[in-house]
Structure 1
Amino acid sequence: MRGLFLNVLLAVVWALFSGEVSLRELVIGFLLGYALLNFFPDALGTRSYQRTSFALLRFVALFIRELTVANVQVALLALHPRPDLKPMIFKVEIHPHTDTTLTLLAATVTLMPGSVVLGFSQDRREMFVHAIGLENTRTARASIHRVESALMAFLPPLSLHKEVT
């Protein structure tokens, strides 16, 4: 949190010193501040901010890649005169999550065309998914595990979340 605060503060200071407080100057200030914080992470105490922001960027890149692949697969199915949809319902073993991370994981998987999260087991260690257009459940599970790993890389550890019961 400290790193984000310092980054926003540096962006505002940059905009004020430039003489024009605009979105463009704030973005430039944010990027310059981010670079500055990455040059001196130990001195400024922003090592975790740096690690979290890189993990978030990796998650966004992975999600965009998975989304693009899923869109192409569904588009090819739609364009085929007699599509072989291969509908399947399967379960995926997942790591223990809080309500927040389960919701983010389910939303991310459901946003990918051709897949819908149906629910979770009582112990929240299995997720049930419906998917179309995939060769087998192994590739679908691998895709979901990649998304889960990337999601958990930028979220705080499980012990820091407050459970809602």
Structure 2
Amino acid sequence: MSGRGAPRLLGRPVPLSQVAWLTVVWLLLWGDLSVGNVLGGLLAGLIVVWLLPLPVVDTGLRIHPVAALIFLIRFARDLVVSSFRVAFWALRLDRPPPVQIVEVRLRSSSEVMTVLLTVALSALPGSLVLEVHLGERELVLHVLGLTGDVQALTQQDVTRLESRIVAAFGTHADQEELR
């Protein structure tokens, strides 16, 4: 929170969201929900955010609600498909699943988008990010259970996922970079 629009206390902005989070932490530490603990948490939170203001940090993350909903729906579908693919290979006892190490190119140069993509890929069963080469815009993936042209299939899947992530969470500059 940048402090714009936040209430002020003795000339300094007091971000209420930070006070609320600190109050929740206070209550969790005390382990007892009482009026005294809530008031004590609010007071402690106010003192901390007023005495130790955090610098304004732009994470480079913007949430576009419609695109984020589309990303979540498609990511859930990808989770189900990937889970079935891994389960299919796990239940086939006659031969081991095909496994390959694949390098894929990224279109975005944003570190934030690369981190989100890396997390999303690693969350999908059957894929794991082994290396990230930011300067070259490359990921090295361990891919399980794909047959055919694994390089091309993986590149297409990663490009689609990257596009959905940038559409859902990227800045306008990130989105322009992909066009």
Amino acid at match of 2:152: R
Cross-structure match for 1:137: 151
For the Cα contact (< 8 Å) 2:111–2:134, is it kept in 1? Answer: no
Residue 128 of structure 1 aligns to which amino acid in structure 2?
A: V
Q: What amino acid maps onto 1:57 in structure 2?
A: L
What is the percent sequence identity of the aligned residues?
26
Give the Cα–Cα distance (whole angstroms) in 1 for the partners of residues 171 and 136 of structure 2.
Answer: 17
Normalized per residue, the structure richer in helix is: 1
Which residue number corresponds to residue 27 of structure 1?
none
Q: TM-score, normalised by structure 2?
A: 0.56
2:167 to 136, 147, 153: 153
Partner of 2:38: none
Instruction: Establish whether residue 69 from structure 1 lines up as the match of residue 81 from structure 2.
Output: yes
SS at match of 1:120: strand
Larger radius of gyration: 2
Letter of the 2:156 partner, please give it.
A
- Superposed CA deviations along residues 2-36 of structure 1, whole A, max 9, x for unmatched, are xxxxxxxxxxxxxxxxxxxxxxxxxxxxxxxxxxx
Look up the SS of the partner of 1:95 in the other structure: coil
CA distance in 2, matches of 1:76, 1:130: 18
How many angstroms does 1:122 deviate by?
4.7
- The TM-score, its normalising length taken from structure 1, stands at 0.61
More displaced, 52-61 or 132-141? 132-141
Counterparts of 2:96 and 2:172 in 1: how far apart (Å)? 40
Distance 1:153 1:82 in 2: 42
How many pairs were matched up?
Answer: 111
Q: Which residue of 1 aligns with 2:126?
A: 114
* Farther-moved stretch of structure 1 (95-104 vs 131-140): 95-104
Name the CA distance, whole Å, in 2 between partners of 1:156 and 1:109: 17
> What does 1:8-47 correspond to in 2, within 5 Å?
none
Gaps of 5+ in 1: 1-48, 161-165
Does the 8 Å contact 2:113/2:170 carry over to 1? Answer: no
The answer to whether residue 104 in structure 2 is matched with residue 92 in structure 1 is yes
Q: Structure 2, unaligned stretches of length 5 or more?
A: 1-61, 175-179
How large is the Cα RMSD of the aligned pairs? 2.1
